Each structure stands twice: as C-alpha cells, then as structure tokens.
Amino acid sequence: MHTSQLNKKRQQLDVLIENKVTFAADSSELSIYDTYQSAQKVALHSNELLFCAMLSGKKVMHVERSQYHKVFLPHESFVLAPEQGVLIDFPQASMHAPTTCLAIEISTDKITSVANALNMQQNFAHDGLFEYVPQLVHTQHNIQTQQLLERMVHLFSEQGAQRHYLIDLSLNELITRLLQQQSRELLLASCDKPRLKTKVSDALLYIEEHLSETLDINTLCKIACMSRSKFYQQFKLAFGTSPALWQQQLRLKKARTQLLQGHAISQVCFDVGFNSASHFSRLFKQTFGIAPKECRH
C-alpha cells in the first residue's frame, strides 16, 4: 500500500498514538493512522460515515452505547455511522511493530447519490431497494475489497491529471460494496420477521443453515420461487456475488472464528464443508491475508 509521497509523510512523527496522514478529495478524505505504543480508550469520531480497514496490528473497538466490544484485525472492515463515536485499545502497538489503520471519510450526500443511481439503474422492486442505514458494520472483507483499498491509497496519495475522476470511480465502487454488504446483513437479520421477508432472504437463510452441504441451486430457486436465470440475476444485483461465492465466504468466515477459538485446521476445514485441506488453505490465505495456521497463534 506504500507510495513514495505517503511514505515520506508517514515518517514525520508528530505523536506516537494515532499519528495521522491525510489526503483530501471532493467528497471524501483518506487517512492513515499509525500507533507506536500501547494505549487504551482512544476516542475516534467523525461527522460523516467513516470506513476503516486494518492494515497491521490489532485493535479492540468499544462502542459503549451499543455494548459493542470486539477485536479489529487486518482484512476486516469497520464502518462507523455519521456522528457515532468509538473508543479504541491498542494492545500490541510498538515502535518496531506499529498498529496501522486506513480510514476513509465519505459524505452522506455522496452515499445517497450512489444509492439512488443503483436503484435507478437496476430498477429494483421495493423489497430490493438500496438505502444506507446509519449503523455500525464490522465484517471481513474479500480480496476484491482489499485490492480496491490498495488502489485507493495510491490514487489519494499521488497527484495525477485524472486524480479526482479516478478517486470518484473508486469511491463509487467502495460505497456499492458497503451497500451490498449492508443489504446482506439486513436480509439475514430479517429472515425471522415475516413482515420484512424478501424472496431472496429465505434462500440466504437456507444457505446459512446448510453451510457444510453441497449447494443445490434448484432447491434455492424453489425456495425463492424464481427460475434459475432470475434467481442468479437477483442474487447478483443485490449482493454483488454468486450464491456459490456467498456460501464460500460464509464458510471461510465460520472457519476463521473456529480457528481463533483454537480448533484444529483439518477439523475446521471439513466441518465447514471443504473437501480439500490445500484448497481450503489457499482460499483462506487469499481472503484474510494469512494462512490458517497463523490464525490459531
């Protein structure tokens, strides 16, 4: 993620806790925070939506009003709603191994603009409407999002003739991914509420409840009351991925949780539905940036 201009600025230390380097654009701002000593309950607040991604080290995030206290690690995203505050612990930060985080502040007007464009372009029915809900989001992000963030660091920190245009394109993609992620979370949360159910939510719930089983598209189509082509189309439009990749992401997320709890790699691999340990390890490394054995340490 390093560029020459970014490296030069990051070497200018003003403080040891949350040393901040910032690059501004029209409707967003990208910052890199480096922390060089352990600390507790460091406050972070933004007037706009704040998309955070861990680059190295470990944080513990505390959102007091919602009783949220969880570890924040590399290859994870943590999204704060506008005007929402968080307190952060840095248990492992040091001069030799700083804790580093990327934060992108995005205006609510920009998010609304992207949501409206998506709804118009994809002609969603009411139950598929994209709309930003101001709430906390904490999730593992995939390799595509990781690559997007690396590209955005380069675009923000370098001065090119088309800088603002390219930043805007990448920002549109990041917001789209956020809206898709939030749509998934809201659909899964509404699966047990008949009033809020959609045609796809029952299929999502079925995938989650039969995670270790071979994916049966015909069964999912029957549950959603759609043809195969219609089901694939609606699933892709709403969530930006295929049912098979969605199942794979859920399996890897569950595997990561079990590995962090100390379970054996081979047991976890087969418990979540993978048939090959080498295939599982390769996908795990691609998704989270570390091998399964590193996750257990």
**Are 124 and 238 within one domain?**
no
pLDDT above 90 coverage of the chain, percent: 42
**Are 123 and 211 within one domain?**
no
Residue 163: count other Cβ atoms within 10 Å of its Cβ: 15
Tell which residue, 61, 160, 156, 59, has the closest CA to residue 105: 156
Transcribe 116-148 into DSSP letters.
HHHHHHHT--GGG------S-EEEE--HHHHHH
Q: Which residue has the higher pLDDT, 227 or 114?
A: 227
pTM (predicted TM-score): 0.69
Tell which residue, 163, 224, 228, has the closest CA to residue 197: 224
**Are 53 and 178 within one domain?**
yes
**Are 45 and 86 within one domain?**
yes
Q: Which residue has the higher pLDDT, 143 or 173?
A: 173
Report pLDDT digits (tens) over 40-62.
Answer: 999 998 888 899 999 999 999 99
Name residues whose C-beta falls within 8 Å of residue 107's C-beta, 6 or more positions apart in sequence: 27, 28, 48, 49
pLDDT above 70 coverage of the chain, percent: 85
Q: Quick one: DSSP state of residue 95?
A: S
Task: Report yes or no: 105 and 28 within 8 Å, Cβ to Cβ.
Answer: yes
pLDDT above 70 (res 189): no
Q: Which residue has the higher pLDDT, 156 or 237?
A: 156
**Are 230 and 168 within one domain?**
no
Pairing of β 137-140 and β 76-80: antiparallel
Which among 124, 156, 187 is the end of a domain? 187
pLDDT at 17: 94
pLDDT above 90 (res 210): yes
pLDDT at 167: 94
The whole-chain average pLDDT of the chain stands at 83
Task: Enumerate the H helices of 3-107 as residue ranges.
Answer: 4-10
Report pLDDT digits (tens) over 69-116.
Answer: 888 988 888 888 888 889 999 999 999 999 999 999 998 888 888 888
pLDDT above 70 (res 187): no
**Are 96 and 56 within one domain?**
yes
- Give the Cα separation of 207 and 213 in Å (integer): 9
**Are 66 and 175 within one domain?**
yes
197, burial (CB in 10 Å: exposed 0-12, middle 13-18, buried 19+): middle
Report pLDDT digits (tens) over 118-172.
Answer: 767 655 444 445 555 556 778 877 778 888 999 999 999 888 788 999 999 999 9
Tell which residue, 39, 291, 11, 144, has the closest CA to residue 21: 11
pLDDT at 190: 47
Which among 147, 162, 187 is the end of a domain? 187
* Triad 103, 105, 106: Cα angle to 5°: 140
**Are 231 and 180 within one domain?**
no
**Are 176 and 199 within one domain?**
no
**Quick one: pLDDT band at residue 194, thresholds 50, 70, 90?**
very low
State the total domains in the chain: 2
**Coil vs helix vs strand at 89:** strand
pLDDT above 90 (res 2): no
**Are 88 and 181 within one domain?**
yes
Which among 130, 164, 187 is the end of a domain? 187
The mean pLDDT of 199-203, rounded to a whole number, is 79
> Domain residues for 221?
193-295
**By mean pLDDT, which of 64-68, 103-107, 216-220 is the weakest?**
64-68
Residue 2: count other Cβ atoms within 10 Å of its Cβ: 12
CATH of the domain at 268: 1.10.10.60
